[in-house]
Structure 1
């Protein structure tokens, strides 16, 4: 480590008191608001399986999204500094969480599926290889105790802008 530290601050506020607090299991909403200084709040809740609002993000969604976003941002950086031009990137990432008999649980795997489009003339082999380096550098992936797999698909756009099939 270089000795540099970065600090992050968030505030999580329960907004689900429906008048009687937690007087009963069904008496309160699981709605929360996540905020960080200078940023818009994020409406969140628990997973719908745990009485959460399906229209709000839940912590599990955000963990999968954090892993995906961290990988993507490292990947885009590595492509930029290695002469690989990415013109589009999306990732329909998925995560699996298993509950245990005591009511707790843990994530067992997250699978990132980056779909990357390269500009004509970009080195597709190098682009594929940079996913490994991005995974190795991702702060979030380095912080979890379950596997994070990367199953990337790379295409090169033709001069007309459409994507050619994967090589």
Structure 2
């Protein structure tokens, strides 16, 4: 894959929209204006482009089909795991034009979405860790530890079997 060739249409489009290239490496390019930064990185191993946008280099947020769907209410890329260069150009010519213009509200919305995704992911990891610890405690018949682990989970997300085990553990400790 020739990175230069694949991003050429995007480079042309962004230069026409007053962007300049401010950093360029083998599989990475950074486009900037006074109020917007767009970076494109290509990962050979995955054969994917990673696209980030922000008001400056410190506030970059990954632009994905999910973020476009949620923030821009644009479902055009719903069946894709990542964006292609053509997808990005199409998006920026349409509903995503506000990004090129540095619309602070849209960057704020993207940032809030990104933070909510991080929070959601963190909760999933913690839930998974607590369930794993509960399974280990149950296997060792350590009902006190099992109850503590289950108490740290979001119980409404648990399988019914954990709630039954929880009741069993409570009953065993009350005897």
Q: Using structure 1 for the length normalisation, give the TM-score.
A: 0.29
Kindly indicate which of the two structures has a greater share of residues assigned to strand: 1
What is the TM-score with the length of structure 2 in the denominator? 0.28
User: Using CA pairs below 8 Å that are at least 6 residues apart, which structure has the higher relative contact order?
Assistant: 1
Q: Which has the larger radius of gyration?
A: 2
Structure that is richer in helix per residue: 2
